[in-house]
Amino acid sequence: MVLLSFSQIPWWALSGFAFIGGVALGWALWSKYKVAGGQLEQQIKDMQSRIDMLEGQLATDKTKFADMEGEIAIAKGKLREAAAETMIWREKASKT
């Protein structure tokens, strides 16, 4: 069995092994994080579509709220008119 020491390996071979190891490690990490990046991009798209949907619902609800406020104002006006009319009838009834 022949054992080699680092002193017997040429400097250019060690540099080549380091280069090839670095390229292999970089390729492995890049492919791993490329997949993770794709998943994050999909999550961002899903969340953006959800935000758009919620903003649409908010606009619809704001319109409904404004309509309801108008209906409440009309109902309060009718209530005031009915109260005033009731007072008039009570005054007329108390005079007779």
Q: What is the pLDDT at residue 83?
A: 95
Helix (H, G, I), strand (E, B) or coil at 9: coil
Average pLDDT over residues 37-48: 95
Q: What is the pLDDT at residue 13?
A: 84
With a cut of 60, say whether residue 1 has pLDDT above it: no
Per mean pLDDT, which range of 26-35, 37-46, 50-59, 69-78 is the poorest?
26-35
Q: Label residues 23-43 b or e (16+ Cβ within 10 Å = b).
A: eeeeeeeeeeeeeeeeeeeee
75: enclosing H helix or E strand = helix 11-95
pTM of the model: 0.54
With a cut of 70, say whether residue 3 has pLDDT above it: no
Q: What is the pLDDT at residue 20?
A: 95
Q: What is the pLDDT of residues 56-75, one digit of tens each?
A: 999 999 999 999 999 999 99
